[in-house]
Every structure is written in structure tokens, then in C-alpha cells.
Amino acid sequence: MSLPTVVSRPTLAVWKFASCDGCQLSLLDCEDELLAVVGAVQIAHFTELSRAVQEGPFDVSLVEGSITTADDIERIRAIRQASSLLVTIGACATSGGIQALRNYADVGEYTATVYAHPEYISTLAKSTPISEHVPVDFELRGCPIDRHQLLEVITACLTGRRPVIPGHSVCQECKGRGTVCVLVAHGTPCLGPVTRAGCGALCPAVDRGCYGCFGPADTANTSSLARQLITVGTSRADVSRLFRTFNAGSPAFREESLTYDSPETGR
Amino acid sequence: MTHQRPADSRTVKVEGLARVEGEGSLRVEVRDGTVELVELEIFEPPRFFEAFLQGRRHTEAPDITARICGICPVAYQTSACLAIEDACKVAITDQIAMLRRLLYCGEWIQSHALHIHFLHAPDFFGCEDAVELAGLDLAAVQRGLEIKKVGNLVMEVVGGRAIHPVNVRVGGFYKAPSREEIAALVEPLRRARDAALASVEWVAGFDFPDIEIDYRFVSLRHPEYYAIESGRIASSDGLDLDAEGISELVEEQHVARSNALHARLGGQDMYLTGPLSRYALNSGQLSPIAREAATAAGLGAVCNNPFRSIIVRAVELVYSCDEALRLVEAYEPPDPPAVAVPGTAGIGYGASEAPRGLLFHRYELDGDGLIRAARIVPPTSQNQLCIEDDLRRVAQANLSLPDEELGWLCEQAVRNFDPCISCATHFLDVSVERL
């Protein structure tokens, strides 16, 4: 990621593809910092906040959502071309999101399930992350992203340094806050050992297993965790489902979910 | 209409409608001085939730459907929980129901505060956004942020996270917040309630276009409370239905221009859900503070002016702070925090009041508790025909305006509904064509 020295009042653009709006809402959820952020940048394009739209080029583009239509591909290429830095925010933009569940199925059948006139629907067979189509300067993960991490990324972009975002697992966050391990102590299926930190280990803190909404950590040993989940009594189908949610399109989770998709024993 | 051109024919388009949640556009066609066609297009791409819920566990529905909308995830989680609990014939305890209502109050507070101060109010000042509005009235924008922050705080304390809460499960919650954690919400909620009262006074002073529409109001109604997280469905023409009843009566139509499905209730008739409907049907159940604020703001028993929905939303904002305070003060941690909901074969229905209107779900489960079929009907699909009808009336009454101003007024008319396009795709650009 090459971060240019920052010019005064750089332009910030926020873009949306297939998504729930939650990650861009995270920016509006920075109630204490929002007015300072919009004072430090020029909001050039952010339709959830403003009807004013400026033409590019843009110093920083934040991109939410996954690519699911042919038109999306053209749009993301144009955005990349107009942007000095392009940062993807959230599970949809970084791994295809929950809508990447279609990648395991027949999208024609999906369309027929939801819509009476499938012929009106224009959609691609797969939901794919932004990085599959254009070079991305930084990927911020989470479903939704953590707003403190978002502020760190924006600050880093504005000051021309690399964002400090950890790649370790949720386990370290549990240890940090002193949460008893739900997998070891209670046998609760938990993806914490293979899931990227960033949320603050929210799920184990409410006595539930991590469900992997931040996607795989940097060195995720998913096959070892999957064997442990079987050991604590999780069915193969449930192991497969656990890996197949909001980051179903990320390679590490996809591979494990496919391994346990079939009834035969393996691993 | 003094400057209306003879034989006014044009198309006014707003591409990429702003200050709404999601992607859509608006198109108004005018021929010989008459608005002929109004279309709200939804080009938010389809995400196929109903399809990929098939084969998932019944316990997964709240977390998966939350991802339909980052603005109102609790609405999705609640309607999903209600429907699954109904399918499995399990009743939750009163204490769990009240904690669910408190979480939902948090979502109403953050969503209404966002819509009033950031998405809707700038229109009344001719501002592009709340940032420009802050230059005119910084205190109002800051007040909106403070209220919103308290809504998010409630969601974090009860739900574990403001966007896509992690503590909600079918049957209740993973962990009940402690009395101390809940008691710490009292001071912030009192501040938010005072701020919300100031916001009611603020929005009541706006200039509103003169328009009255005879809506068919539909909302939940609860015997004891202003309906939020549960109740039966009532209407201004006397319907009294349960969630199954409305699910059977509402037909969704798929039209070529839109990736959202249009809903009709009982065949042909359009109907309105959301704050105006809830207020028309249930205002007698508002708390005394919220009722007094409504009266002081000039609201009668029913509000038929869609532009004045911002006042009704502000009154509901006061109510949700006030109601959250009542729930906080009466809080007893549910023990256990959830009732067991073993998956059984069955069909279940659930309905709740998202900040922008009625949201209902239907699930069919097999004997292993796996979802065989799902149906999700979001508020914006239900409101789409009303939105288009409002647009036709507003455009027709204001044809003397130049395209740009007419386009902006049409956008504002859409924002009256606090539409959530992300939800409805499962919705907006404005264009006016004079042909």
C-alpha cells in the first residue's frame, strides 16, 4: 500500500455495492468524531449522508459491498481509476458477504425462489470481493466493521501511514479481557481461534461462540479447529454451516465448509 | 402554477437518490401538464435471503436476517425470533419480552435520531446534508448525534453490539445484562429524552408543504403498550389480524423495474406502514410526556401530511427514550436469559414494527429444525405504492417548479417514508420527464 503524503482537506468518497449499509453506517456511528472527520476531509461522494456529489478524482475511496452484477464491475473499475487510495470496508467488500452463499448454489434457482419473474433480474452467478476485480490498498474486515478500526484506517490514510490493524485471532482478545474460553470450558462451538480480532471478542463475552464475522485471521488453522469442533460433539453439517456464513467466500472458510459438507468421514 | 409552461411535457429524473439507505432512483413523467408516470426504481442488487435461508438451522435466522439491514437489524432479529418461536410453539417469558422491547427501543432511538437530524431535516433548510446544516444550526446536529449515541449505547449494553447485535437468540438472549449495567443507562436516557423533546420543538417549527392524504393506515397494535416488538395487526379500516393473517393477505408483485417486490394487502389496495400509521392507530398509548410533546407540536389524533412525519418520528423518539427509561427502572434480569426452543416441524409467523414500518417473516421448518422455506416482507416494499402515489400528488401540485427544484421536492417526498432500499431488495434515483 503506497500512501501518498496528505494534501490539505483530501477528498473522501464512500461507495456502496451489494450490502446492508451497516459498514457505512459505522462512520455515522462515530458520534463523537463525525464532525471532526467531515471537517478534516471534503466529502465528495457519500449518498447515505449527502445529496451533493463531486466528480473525481478522489484521494480516498471507502468501498462497501460485493460485486454481484455486470454493471458493478464497470462501476468499481471507474472508481478505482478515480481513486488514489481504495479501501474496502466489511465482509461483503472483502470476501463477498452473506450473499456469497450463492457461490455454493445455482443462482438461477435462487432467483426463481425469491422472484416471480426471474427474467427481470440481472445478476452474476457469484458474489465476489472487490479485490477480485481491482487492486485494493487496504481491506478492513468485519460484519460489521468496528468503528474504532475505521477511524484508525481513515486517520492513517489522512496522515500517510499504514493502518495499525491486528491480524491475530479473537482468542487473544478473550485472553485480554479475561473471558473464560467457551470452547474449552463449556464445549461451545467457537470460531475464535481462526477468526481475525477487531470486535473485542463480543460473542464469548455473552457466553456464545464466535461466529466468525471478521473472517479468517492471518494464520488460521481451520482444519485443526474443525476437528476440535467435531470432538466437542458438533455435527459435520453444523461445522460446515459455521464456516459458511458472512465470510463464506473467503478461501480458508470456504475450504473447510466444503470439507465438512459431505456426510463421509475425513480429516 | 402561474409560470407553468403551456403543454408542459418533461421527464424529471433523480439518479442515485441520497440520504436513504440503499440504491435506487426516481422518475416522474409529465405530459401536457399532467403527471402520467411515477416510478421508484430499486437497483440495489438482489441478495436472495429467502433462498439461502433454506437448509439453515432455525437458530440461525436472527443472525442471518439481521444482515438484510444495518440500520434496523433488531427489527429483523425480532421478527425472525417471533416467527421461529411461533413455529416451534414456544412462548417466551415476560422478562425476556421486556428486555427485547428495551433493545428495540435502542434501535428506534438511533434510527429515528439519524433520520430526523441527518437524512430528513436538511431538506427543510435547503441543505445538501447535515454537514451544511451544522453550519446553520450546529446545536441541532450535535443534539441528533447525542441522541443517536444513546440509542447505540442501549443496543450495545443489551445486544452486545449496535450494528448486528450478537446477544439475540431464538428464545431470548445469550446473557442477561446485570442490574448495574442496565441502571447505568438511566442518566444517558434522561439526557436523550430531554434532547428529543427539544427536537420535537425544533421540527414542529419547520415549514411544511400543504398536503393531506387519506392513507389506509396499517400497524401493529398491542393491548397494553404502544406497539413495537409485538402485537396484532390493525388498520384504519378495521382489520384485526395476527401475523399469519397479514402474511396470507399481503401479495407481493414483481415488476420489471424493481428488484424489490411491491406489496398489496387484499388484492388491490395500497396501504401505509410506519410512524404515521402507528401514531394514527395507537397514539392514545403514548406516554404522558410524549403525548404532551405531540400536542404542543400541533399534532392532532391523526397526521395526514407525509412531510410532517418528521414530527411524528420525533414524538416517537421521545416515547422510545421514555419507554426505555420505564423498562430500565423495572428491569429484572431474566433467569434463564432464554427459553429453550427445540427445532420442530411447523410453520411460524412473526411481525414487529421496524422504525420505518411493519416487518413480517414466515418460516417453514422440518422435523430437524431446518428451514424449508422463508418469506420476509420489509416495510419499504409495503410502502412503495404509497410512495409512488405521494410522488404523483406532490409532482402534480408543483409542476410550476423548475426541474431541479421539482426533483428535490420529489426526493424529499420519498425521504418522508424513511425508506430502506437495502431492505426492500429483497429500492431509489429521482427523475422527472416532461414529454
Tens digits of residue pLDDT in A111-157: 777 766 666 666 788 999 999 999 999 999 999 999 999 999 999 99
What pLDDT is stored for residue B384 in this prediction? 85
Nearest chain A residue (CA) to B55: A241
CA distances to A112, B86, B238, B300 from B213, rounded to whole Å, are 37, 36, 18, 15
The model's pLDDT over B292-321, given as tens digits with 9 standing for 90+, comes to: 999 999 999 999 999 999 999 999 999 999
Domain boundaries, chain B: 10-210+330-434
CA-based nearest residue to B321, from B147, B78, B71: B147
Q: Are B302 and B280 in contact (CB under 8 A)?
A: yes
Q: Are B369 and B59 in contact (CB under 8 A)?
A: yes
What pLDDT is stored for residue A120 in this prediction? 62
Q: Chain B window 114-173: which residues touch A at a Cβ cutoff of 8 Å?
A: 114, 118, 128-132, 134, 141-142, 145-146, 148-149, 152, 160-164, 166-167, 169, 173
B10-210+330-434 CATH: 1.10.645.10
Cell of A132: 477480485
The alpha carbon of residue B329 and the mean position of all alpha carbons in its chain are separated, in whole angstroms, by 27
Q: What is the Cα–Cα distance from B423 to B418, expressed in whole angstroms?
A: 12
Chain B residues with CB inside 8 Å of A123's CB?
A: 45-46
- Could you tell me the fold of the domain covering A11-159? Rossmann fold (3.40.50)
Please state the φ and ψ torsions of residue B429, each to the nearest 5 degrees: -85, 135
Span B15-21, average pLDDT: 77
Span A45-64, average pLDDT: 93
CA atoms within 13 A on the CB side of A156: 20
Chain B residues with CB inside 8 Å of A24's CB?
A: 70
Nearest Cβ partner of A52 from B52, B60, B129?
A: B129
Q: Would you say the ipTM is above 0.95?
A: no
Lookup result for grid cell 410526556: B289
Q: What is the Cα–Cα distance from B144 to B270, expressed in whole angstroms?
A: 33
Cell of A120: 427481470
| Structure confidence at residue B158 as a pLDDT band (50, 70, 90) | very high
CA distances to B120, B196, B345 from B193, rounded to whole Å, are 20, 5, 44
Pick from A9, A30, A31 the residue to mutate for testing the B interface (most B CBs within 10 Å).
A31
Q: Chain B window 70-89: which residues touch A at a Cβ cutoff of 8 Å?
A: 70-71, 73
Torsion-angle region of A233 (φ positive above 0: left; ψ -120 to 50: alpha; else: beta): left
Q: What is the Cα–Cα distance from B59 to B67, expressed in whole angstroms?
A: 15
| Structure confidence at residue B256 as a pLDDT band (50, 70, 90) | low
CA-based nearest residue to B30, from B14, B17, B12: B12
CA-based nearest residue to A35, from B150, B71, B137, B130: B130
A52-66, B156-170, B345-359, B414-428: range with lowest mean pLDDT: B414-428
Domain boundaries, chain A: 11-159, 170-259
Q: What is the Cα–Cα distance from B395 to B366, expressed in whole angstroms?
A: 50
B290: which residues sit within 8 A by CB, 6+ positions away?
B315, B316, B318, B319, B322
Span A6-22, average pLDDT: 87
Q: Kindly tell me if the per-residue pLDDT of B44 is higher than 80.
A: no
Residue A80 identity (one-letter amino acid): R
Please state the φ and ψ torsions of residue A134, each to the nearest 5 degrees: -145, 155
Pick from B54, B57, B67 the residue to mutate for testing the A interface (most A CBs within 10 Å).
B67
Q: Are A59 and A7 in contact (CB under 8 A)?
A: yes
The model's pLDDT over B228-237, given as tens digits with 9 standing for 90+, comes to: 999 999 999 8
Q: Kindly tell me if the per-residue pLDDT of A23 is higher than 50.
A: yes
Give every strand in the sheet of B232-235, ordered side by side: B218-221, B232-235, B240-241
Chain A residues with CB inside 8 Å of B57's CB?
A: 238, 241
How many residues would you count in chain B?
A: 435
Q: In chain A, what percentage of residues exceed pLDDT 90?
A: 79
Q: What is the Cα–Cα distance from B231 to B216, expressed in whole angstroms?
A: 19
| Structure confidence at residue B260 as a pLDDT band (50, 70, 90) | low
Q: What is the Cα–Cα distance from B304 to B254, expressed in whole angstroms?
A: 29
Identify the top-confidence range among A5-14, B15-24, B192-201.
B192-201
Report cis status (omega within 30 of 0) of the bond before A144: yes
Q: Kindly tell me if the per-residue pLDDT of A79 is higher than 60.
A: yes
Q: What is the Cα–Cα distance from A137 to A62, expressed in whole angstroms?
A: 10
What pLDDT is stored for residue B15 in this prediction? 78
Burial environment of residue B122 by CB neighbours within 10 A (0 to 12, 13 to 18, 19 or more): buried
Q: Are B152 and B110 in contact (CB under 8 A)?
A: yes
Nearest Cβ partner of B129 from A24, A50, A102?
A: A50
The model's pLDDT over B72-87, given as tens digits with 9 standing for 90+, comes to: 999 999 999 999 999 9
Cell of B107: 434501535
Pick from B14, B17, B42, B47 the residue to mutate for testing the A interface (most A CBs within 10 Å).
B47
Please state the φ and ψ torsions of residue A38, each to the nearest 5 degrees: -70, -15
Please state the φ and ψ torsions of residue A133, each to the nearest 5 degrees: -115, -35
Q: What is the Cα–Cα distance from A20 to B98, expressed in whole angstroms?
A: 27
